[in-house]
Structure 1
């Protein structure tokens, strides 16, 4: 998840940042080693998907924090683990709820109900006083209004629309027809009267 937040760059974990003498003289510093694990475009598409968890999914309680966030809830089989991994453009945090030994939680203790509130409490303090920043959109990412059901461009059979991010060249080129059929657009203009289900991206 840190790789997504870093725009595709993975930082190699390290524990020592510098070595000082007893008088405070800095003897050695360590710079983090980074590698490009995935492209910035793929990282942004993942972030775009994970913001949906916050905006309309199981992590929507986190909207109370009032800033751009992305994340994912998780609950394992038999309710033995509940977790939430989430991030802002500047910080990634994971919370886990469970027992050290192989033991189930209460069936109601899901990632959204058990782990997410802890994550929110931490992030509320960690982000206090920091500027609200949007996730940066890399080059070669385009946004298109699509049919929320078919994933195609809005057409005569469209009931609801939404805006989604695409890697340039992969955006849909066909329109939704009656009963989910499709046809290729000739004018590139969405039909009038289409209702936007979600707001335009920042």
Structure 2
């Protein structure tokens, strides 16, 4: 009697039958993010500054909450152009804190402005993209379950420390590792996912 092979743990078929991490199927926004963005290499300053900022907003919240507010965050922070963000004054910040469509957290909002200044300062010494990508780990992750995906690494700890030294805030090692996953520096797609390997393309 023929036995149908079971799917790898923590992977589920999507509407098209392709295997994805189970979290990607919880909402259409997550599905689109998983299929189109998560793990795709990002190497430009603006793109990296945006992802670093969004990861900061996610702290204590779900990623779905951030995705639902992402367009609003982009508008609020001038499309995450550091040169425009750095000029935001207290009146703009207070207006954001009073806006119910925003993620209203003063520390997170102030961190974006402070990190914009730190990003600009880095241009005198290689730049944000070169700094971040210089911490790409040599080790290749190959998780077979969600439990095998680490929350941080030696590289994310070191990069977080370096970013803080360069004037960045709200950049702990767990947050930085999540960013590394999102921008394709590490591939933590579970083995068997149809998106595994996208980070090297």
Same fold (TM over 0.5): no
Higher helix share: 2
* Greater C-alpha Rg: 1
Normalised to the residue count of structure 2, the TM-score between the two structures is: 0.24
Structure of greater relative contact order (alpha carbons < 8 Å, 6+ residues apart): 2
Normalised to the residue count of structure 1, the TM-score between the two structures is: 0.24
